[in-house]
Amino acid sequence: MKRALVTGGSGGIGAAICRRLAADSCHVYVHANRNLARASALADEIRAAGGAAEAVSFDVTDVAACRATLEALVESEPIQILVNNAGIHDDAVFPGMRAEQWHRVLDVSLNGFFNVTQPLTLPMIRSRWGRIVNITSVAGLTGNRGQANYAAAKGALHAATKSLSLELASRGVTVNAVAPGVIRTAMSDGVFDDASIAALVPMKRAGQPEDVASAVAFLASDQASYISGQVLSVNGGMI
Ligand code: NDP
């Protein structure tokens, strides 16, 4: 049974990814930061349905906490599937963006990728099979008004995805990104009304967290063993 860590498993998209990987027979670590109770409830739900799951919590911006928790987790066995999904946005038009807004969004979404991925990489390499999937955003491909910080973090993740994929290609480890468009979760609620979704999305509807989870599950599977360094958009045809 492969062990999978999904950061931000307490959130909307992360929860769908956890359920899907558990249904695909992975032992899933459902990660949370502040909402550990939500991650624990999801792990309970997965176990009740016959799957394998545990909740873990740490702040992805805390280098020492990431290292301590993750090194302990891989002491006996590697985590072979890592989904870097934890992320935040804090939007403001650029002239009014506070330095804290800029730094915080990059710290969670970009530095969090480094803090979580690095301690897991060598054990994954040694096992000669691994999947790293980074959840980015259409904003990282096209940019978005009011999201210079968020788009910078997600665009940088695309570049990191491609670079790391080159380093790990010969080791049986693939590194890809899934770039969602508008997906119905707490993060997007209140940001987009139905009219703006209809204007933005050719399919005229928001996606569901399960749409993202399907793409992640594919990239995490054996079927995707020859796919690395790619950005797979899940956005109803936006770009
Ligand atoms: P949610 O707000 O529902 O979930 C965000 C998750 O990130 C939560 O589990 C939260 O943990 C975790 N998180 C936030 N800050 C930290 C931190 N400092 N350390 C550890 N974990 C943290 O968002 P979504 O499910 O909608 O988004 C998931 C990913 O998908 C994000 O990367 C987002 O950028 C991306 N995305 C979402 C889109 C959408 O339309 N929803 C569109 C494009 C991309 P906790 O709650 O436990 O604190």
- The verdict on the CB of residue 61 being under 6 Å from ligand 1 is yes
Q: Going by CA atoms, what residue is nearest to atom 5 of ligand 1?
A: 11
Query: What percent of the chain is modeled with pLDDT above 70?
Result: 100
- Spatial distance between the Cα atoms of 44 and 119, rounded to a whole number of angstroms: 27
Concerning whether 29 is annotated as a catalytic residue, the answer is no
> Quick one: residue 127, left, alpha or beta (phi over 0 = left, psi -120 to 50 = alpha)?
alpha
The pLDDT of residue 187 is above 90? no
Ligand 1 site-directed mutation target among 7, 28, 33, most atoms within 8 Å of CB: 33
- Spatial distance between the Cα atoms of 124 and 133, rounded to a whole number of angstroms: 13
Residue-range definition of the domain harbouring residue 155: 3-233
Report which ligand 1 atom has the smallest distance to the Cα of 7: 21
The pLDDT of residue 118 is above 90? yes
239 belongs to a structural domain: no
77 belongs to a structural domain: yes
Q: Which of 150, 160, 206, 231 is catalytic?
A: 150
The domain that holds 8 is classified in CATH as 3.40.50.720
Q: 39-94, pLDDT tens digit by residue?
A: 999 999 999 999 999 999 999 999 999 999 999 999 999 999 999 999 999 999 99
CB under 8 Å, gap of 24 or more: what pairs does 38-42 form? 38/10, 39/9, 39/10, 42/9, 42/10, 42/15, 42/18
Q: For residue 21, give every residue at least 6 positions away whose Cβ sits within 8 Å of its Cβ, in sequence order, or none.
A: 4, 6, 28, 81, 83, 213, 216, 217, 220
How many whole angstroms from its chain centre is CA 116? 11
163 belongs to a structural domain: yes
Q: For residue 154, give every residue at least 6 positions away whose Cβ sits within 8 Å of its Cβ, in sequence order, or none.
A: 87, 109, 136, 137, 139, 140, 179
Q: Tell me, what DSSP letter sits at residue 235?
A: S
Confidence (pTM): 0.99
Query: How many domains, the chain?
Result: 1
Rg, the chain, Cα only: 17
